[in-house]
Amino acid sequence: MAYVIDQDRCINCWWCRRACPTDTIHYFDQPNRKHWIDPEGCIDCDICAQVCPMDCIDHHPEITPPPEKLEAAKARARAWAGDRRRLKLAVRGYAEAQVLRIAGNGKRENGNGAD
């Protein structure tokens, strides 16, 4: 099983390539200057198909990559997911700290004015 890009409709926006958790979407090494999914790294996560603005990525159940390649790809995806979670928490923590800082400043200004 793997996903396949319809290259006639692809506009090379590189969104799928940025989003792919296993890094299996290629562009710069492609002689026809089009995005291409290397099926050996595709774990069928569907992320690329969901982000593609041209709706030109489809699931092809008949393609079967070797199991050992799939295991390696899944390990890459797990590392990616862990990192994604850490970043989300860090962004949230940073945003909350900023809100508290701004709210704190406002309180001091108001307090100074009232006293």
Q: What is the binding site for ligand SF4 (CB under 6 A)?
A: 3, 5, 10-16, 20, 22, 24-25, 35, 37, 42-48, 51-52, 54, 56-57
Write the binding mask 45 to 84 for other proteins: x where contact by CB under 8 A, - elsewhere.
------x-xx------------------------xxxxxx
Check: CB of residue 25 under 8 Å from CB of residue 82: no
Check: CB of residue 48 under 8 Å from CB of residue 25: yes
Side-chain half-sphere exposure of 115, counting CA atoms within 13 A: 6
Cβ proximity to ligand SF4: between 9 and 85 the closer is 9
